């Protein structure tokens, strides 16, 4: 059984050596969720927790699948982590070499010293990470904040991605759900019991089952020295209506340089991206494709993972 230190509720590598997760209780729990949801999967032969240092920052990431397989890079949304992709990573790991990154200030990565959580800084991290790991022509899949980072990467280096997937994100967004996300983050910073956090998530997210929320709660919290359970993401992200660092506005005209195959995925009940926003984005992309996933909101890939995979699979088969 894999060990973890007293402050962490989940298991992570404690140095630069990869930590094998294939025998962990966390994988066993994930396999149970996959069976519950009817998600096709094989038991992964490679699933490791790893740390690295890029641009003077320590980043944690999860690596799945055969290193000789085509690479996929997964970028999560604000206040989430690499584990938000676990079911997706599990499903893809028999065909792809999957890298799910904890972006700066999130998950088990370091809180950045300059408090720069701009899209540009995160894109620079991801680019440096891919160069360090020898990742060439990846498929990049980004949700929300991570989708914005994916967009920035594709704008700066349109020749780099083999394909891109934007999950509930668009250059122009008229939905008003951002305030709900910020309010949830501000109101859920520390807890006496993990059950209190689980109840808060259950009220916020009506699409996921209580059992799945209970299985994933460990990835969002860390135990402070006084015994309190606190959110892993940097307080700067909770306290401000903005991420610190230079703003990066992207227009529909800008994204016309993204020539690789691009899939825009919208959640049916998204309060972030309206249908017209998604359609305008697809039409601006030279090789744009669209899918809407039912029975979910903004967090498409966690709220209806089977539906998300049904939308993703045909696209991946074409690239």
Q: How many domains does the chain have?
A: 1
Structural domain range at position 152: 19-174+255-318
Point out the residues of the chain with pLDDT beneath 70. 1-6, 240-248
Are 264 and 278 spatial neighbours (Cβ–Cβ below 8 Å)? yes
Q: Which runs of consecutive H residues, i.e. helices, occur in 19-144?
A: 25-37, 86-92, 119-133
The answer as to whether 226 is a domain residue is no
- C-alpha distances out from residue 61 to 49, 131, 202, 209, 305, Å: 6, 15, 27, 26, 21
Give the residue carrying structure tokens 């601006």.
284
Report the side by side order of strands in the sheet with 221-223. Answer: 190-191, 229-231, 221-223
The answer as to whether 259 is a domain residue is yes
Are 99 and 24 spatial neighbours (Cβ–Cβ below 8 Å)? no
Residue 247: predicted pLDDT? 52
Residue 213: predicted pLDDT? 96
* Eight-class DSSP state of 180: H
The Cα–Cα gap between 159 and 153 comes to 10
Q: What are the φ and ψ backbone dihedral angles of 6, each rounded to 5 degrees?
A: -65, -25
Find the CATH number of the domain harbouring 153: 3.40.50.1820
For the packed helices 194-204 and 178-187, what is the interaxial angle rounded to 10 degrees? 170
The answer as to whether 108 is a domain residue is yes
Are 304 and 294 spatial neighbours (Cβ–Cβ below 8 Å)? yes
Give the residue carrying structure tokens 């949304």.
77
Residue 131: predicted pLDDT? 98
The answer as to whether 211 is a domain residue is no
Residue 10 is encoded by which pair of tokens? Answer: 């989940």
The answer as to whether 106 is a domain residue is yes
The answer as to whether 207 is a domain residue is no
Residue 2: predicted pLDDT? 41
The answer as to whether 237 is a domain residue is no
The answer as to whether 232 is a domain residue is no
Are 236 and 79 spatial neighbours (Cβ–Cβ below 8 Å)? no
Are 57 and 125 spatial neighbours (Cβ–Cβ below 8 Å)? yes
The Cα–Cα gap between 200 and 270 comes to 20
> In DSSP terms, which residues pair with 19 in a beta bridge?
49
């Amino acid at each position: 059984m894999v060990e973890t230190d007293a402050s962490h509720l989940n298991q992570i590598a404690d140095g630069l050596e990869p930590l094998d997760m294939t025998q962990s209780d966390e994988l066993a729990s994930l396999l149970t969720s996959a069976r519950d949801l009817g998600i096709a999967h094989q038991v992964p032969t490679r699933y490791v927790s790893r740390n690295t240092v890029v641009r003077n920052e320590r980043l944690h990431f999860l690596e799945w699948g055969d290193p000789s397989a085509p690479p996929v890079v997964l970028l999560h949304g604000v206040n989430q982590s690499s584990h938000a992709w676990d079911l997706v990573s599990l499903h893809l790991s028999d065909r792809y070499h999957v890298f799910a990154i904890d972006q700066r200030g999130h998950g088990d990565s370091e809180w950045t010293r300059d408090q720069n959580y701009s899209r540009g800084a995160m894109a620079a991290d991801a680019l440096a990470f891919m160069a360090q790991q020898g990742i060439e022509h990846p498929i990049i899949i980004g949700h929300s904040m991570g989708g914005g980072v994916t967009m920035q990467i594709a704008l700066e280096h349109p020749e780099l991605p083999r394909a891109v997937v934007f999950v509930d994100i668009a250059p122009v967004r008229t939905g008003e759900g951002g305030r709900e996300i910020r309010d949830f983050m501000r109101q859920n910073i520390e807890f006496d019991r993990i059950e209190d956090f689980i109840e808060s998530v259950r009220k916020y997210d009506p699409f996921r089952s209580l059992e799945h929320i209970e299985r994933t709660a460990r990835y969002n919290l860390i135990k402070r020295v006084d015994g309190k359970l606190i959110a892993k993401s940097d307080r700067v992200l909770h306290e401000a209506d903005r991420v610190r660092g230079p703003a990066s506005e992207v227009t529909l005209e800008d994204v016309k340089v993204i020539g690789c195959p691009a899939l825009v995925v919208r959640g049916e009940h998204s309060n972030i991206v309206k249908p017209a926003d998604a359609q305008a984005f697809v039409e601006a992309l030279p090789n744009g494709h669209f899918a809407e996933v039912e029975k979910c909101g903004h967090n498409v890939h966690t709220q209806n993972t089977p539906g998300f995979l049904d939308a993703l699979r045909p696209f991946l088969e074409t690239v």
